[in-house]
Structure 1
Amino acid sequence: MKAISLIDTQRLGLINHEPVDELVAGHVEIAIVLSGICGTDLAVLTGREEGHIGVIRGHEAVGIIINVGKHVTSLQPGMRVVIDPNEYCANCEPCRSAKTHLCHGQHNNGLAIAGVNKDGTFAQRFITHERFVHALPDNISWETGVLIEPIACILNNIDQASLTSGERVLILGSGPMSLVAQLILRSVGVITLTTDSNTSRIAFGRSLGLDIIHPDELATRLSTSETIDAVIDTVGNQLETAALAVRRGGRIILFGFNGNYQYPLPVKHFLVNAISIIAAGEYNQHFPRALDIARRLPELGKLVTHRYSLEDYSHAFDELLNNPCTPAVKSVFTPNPHYL
């Protein structure tokens, strides 16, 4: 089968890869229909995050089951499904304590994540244990379904930050994850203000009724609007801006990944103003709730604006990495387009 792998540092390639011939008991084989390009994929290609060379990338995916192994009870061929890429071991102490996001891993090497430290879903087929596969209801489109994993990430951060109806949240950056967050927060009564320098994304967000401005306008808005209860940094290098914007007693939620970013923490400012910094980590069993959100917010599917074949991977990443005004919001690969 065809797949997109990290073949060298900051370099992808299209490879031929064959999964195991026989399914292990409890596992299923899935034909991938859509697999989303995530900000972490872009971070690896730009050197902001390390990547495991030789690993097939991709961790946001929906597909159709084409084969099941022995002892699989909850799934069958032909089912539409969404994949949870966080493959916790279920045996270590954190897993037994219902903290699967802190999984030690089978060999004590940490949580196994498809598309990050093991083969993922930028491929025609994918094999995983049935406990990491959820049925995708017929009333959830492929496009909305491919955002289930991002929804789970957002819900985790909402929970950890205790964001509630009526609060005002500043979101720095308006990429796909931010847009998912804005739509979810709006649905639960949270008021959002968001920044982005890409005029196309500003226009797209405003077309959905979201309040998105250029970063140059932020100071003026903050001086005339109500206080900001919490700030979400989806860019990964905006702690200074967040610290200046959030109210006393407010929260800053770290969300974007940038392994090269460092911030000299003004400890006294944070102490005197009782500002909390929240790092939620991986989501923990949020997929059932994410599916429920997807049912209630079908407009999330509108975020999928660009589709690419696996062979066109270079064009897809070039657009996202090198066009600062790209109209692309959420880009996905279509490894098996005949299923669409």
Structure 2
Amino acid sequence: MSPVALPSHSAAVLYGPRDLRIEERTLWPPSTNQVQVQIVSTGLCGSDLHYYSHGRNGDFAVRAPLVLGHEAAGIVAAVGPGVTNFVPGQRVAIEAGIMCRNCDFCKKDRYNLCKNMRFCSSASVFPHADGTLQSRMNHPAHVIHPLPDSCSFEQAALAEPLSVLIHATRRASFTSGQSALVFGVGAIGILACAVAKSLGATRVVAIDINQARLDFAKANGFAEEVYCLPVSDKNEKKTTEEQLRHAKEAAGMALAAFGQKEGFSTVFECTGAEPCIQMSIHVAQTGGKVMLIGMGTRNVMLPLSTAALREVDIHGSFRYANTYPEALALLSSGKLEGIEKLVTHRFSLEDTKKAFDLLAKGQDEQGRMVLKVMVGGLS
């Protein structure tokens, strides 16, 4: 017997660059081992913005209408056959990646590298997997997580980007007593600072080209000290040697400003910008680590001999695996002091297009900085 469709639900659907439409879609009951979630809060991400602005994110182009959004929390509306660990009315967070659970990576608990991963709001696979910018969605129960009582929906939506940093700190074996330098203080960089502090970092500093963001990071206690990089002339063409020399000189000036000539234990590179990646190797201490988190420049010229001679380890970090319980516990613990200030603007689902337009501008009509934009209802 075929399942009977439920009343329709609303979804923000992307058809092409800046072509986002609010549609009413058929709502089907959850299938076996699925949970239906009423979405309460979705945080907008940089990858969502790329899809909205350009109809693609890197190599992945939108080939069919796609619902964006993958940082979300909500309330269980219904459960499908076989689901025994969730009940309607329960508050939950949605982990957006649906792994195959059969490949070698999944079996080794590195499912973030699963070659068969279907990730909500990503065009990397076809048919695309719709995201969370809809009023309700069905999702596998094994990637649904219960919320601690003291964790709000907006905090729970931050569990996704926070997971990126938890995974990165695990990769770096970051522990109490180490120092951290963070490149880029957008939402991911702010979270990098917050996680490093929560793990007992002796010192957390940040570098960016945006003084307003740096001021925010320092004023709210995320970074103890900050340094604003001078903006280079994009039209000025430099040879590879000139680029690498400039990166070394800029790194030296930053370390001098911080009074930390020997460098930092771990560098969290959250920009993806080639000059910052080059600088990262120079601002890491001898025997230190560089975590590559930001996605940006495809091919980067690196001073690898400098890294090799000083035994600076360079690690890639992609998404996350087995981080959500820790992320939700951390968000509800109070250890990430002031983290709620990361959410600067809120919109209803019907105003999703306005939310993306504001995120693209980076500043609202009152001149206030835009960091994390939430779409949805209750907090």
> Does the alignment reach a TM-score above 0.5?
yes
Does residue 1:152 correspond to 2:166, yes or no?
A: no
Using a 3 Å threshold, how does the CA distance of structure 1 residues 203 and 265 change in structure 2: closer, same or farther? closer
| Structure 1 match to 2:183 | 172
Q: Can you list the C-alpha shifts for 1:166-207, whole angstroms capped at 9, x where unaligned?
A: 222111110111111211211111121112333332232223
Shift of 1:102: 2.1
Shift of 1:326: 5.0
| Structure 2 match to 1:112 | 118
Secondary structure of residue in 2 paired with 1:18: strand
Secondary structure of residue in 1 paired with 2:50: helix
CA contact (8 A) 2:227 2:254 kept: no
| Structure 2 match to 1:200 | 212
CA contact (8 A) 1:143 1:302 kept: no
Structure 2: how far apart are the matches of 1:92 and 1:274?
Answer: 33
Using a 3 Å threshold, how does the CA distance of structure 1 residues 277 and 19 change in structure 2: closer, same or farther? farther
Of stretches 194-203 and 247-256 in structure 1, the one that deviates more from structure 2 is: 194-203
List aligned pairs for 1:48-127, cutoff 5 A.
49=58, 50-53=60-63, 54-105=65-116, 111-117=117-123, 118-127=129-138
Using a 3 Å threshold, how does the CA distance of structure 1 residues 221 and 239 change in structure 2: closer, same or farther? closer
Using a 3 Å threshold, how does the CA distance of structure 1 residues 268 and 218 change in structure 2: closer, same or farther? closer
| Structure 2 match to 1:18 | 25
CA contact (8 A) 2:251 2:283 kept: no
Shift of 1:219: 4.9
Q: Can you list the C-alpha shifts for 1:100-139, whole angstroms capped at 9, x where unaligned?
A: 222232xxxxx11112141010111111011111111221
Structure 2: how far apart are the matches of 1:300 and 1:78?
Answer: 26
Structure 2: how far apart are the matches of 1:48 and 1:88?
Answer: 21
Using a 3 Å threshold, how does the CA distance of structure 1 residues 174 and 218 change in structure 2: closer, same or farther? farther
Structure 2: how far apart are the matches of 1:273 and 1:246?
Answer: 9
Using a 3 Å threshold, how does the CA distance of structure 1 residues 269 and 203 change in structure 2: closer, same or farther? closer
Residue in structure 2 matching 1:327, options 354, 359, 369:
369
| Structure 2 match to 1:303 | 342
Using a 3 Å threshold, how does the CA distance of structure 1 residues 293 and 12 change in structure 2: closer, same or farther? farther
Structure 1: how far apart are the matches of 2:325 and 2:19?
Answer: 33
Shift of 1:17: 4.8
| Structure 1 match to 2:13 | 5
Letter in 2 for 1:272: L
| Structure 2 match to 1:244 | 282
Structure 1: how far apart are the matches of 2:172 and 2:71?
Answer: 24
Residue in structure 2 matching 1:31, options 38, 43, 49:
38
CA contact (8 A) 1:251 1:278 kept: yes
Q: Can you list the C-alpha shifts for 1:213-257, whole angstroms capped at 9, x where unaligned?
A: 322497544125222222111111121121232222221111111
Shift of 1:20: 5.0
Letter in 2 for 1:202: L
Structure 1: how far apart are the matches of 2:374 and 2:92?
Answer: 16
Secondary structure of residue in 1 paired with 2:285: strand
- State TM-score, norm by structure 1: 0.89
Which 5+ residue runs of structure 1 have no aligned equivalent?
106-110
Structure 2: how far apart are the matches of 1:126 and 1:262?
Answer: 37
Using a 3 Å threshold, how does the CA distance of structure 1 residues 94 and 17 change in structure 2: closer, same or farther? farther
Structure 2: how far apart are the matches of 1:242 and 1:218?
Answer: 8
Structure 2: how far apart are the matches of 1:149 and 1:82?
Answer: 9
Does residue 1:256 correspond to 2:298, yes or no?
A: no
Which 5+ residue runs of structure 2 have no aligned equivalent?
1-8, 124-128, 231-249
Using a 3 Å threshold, how does the CA distance of structure 1 residues 221 and 97 change in structure 2: closer, same or farther? closer
Q: Can you list the C-alpha shifts for 1:262-293, whole angstroms capped at 9, x where unaligned?
A: 21233322222222210122211111111221
CA contact (8 A) 1:195 1:213 kept: yes
Letter in 2 for 1:285: N
C-alpha root-mean-square deviation of aligned residues, in Å? 2.2
Using a 3 Å threshold, how does the CA distance of structure 1 residues 323 and 84 change in structure 2: closer, same or farther? closer
Secondary structure of residue in 2 paired with 1:236: coil
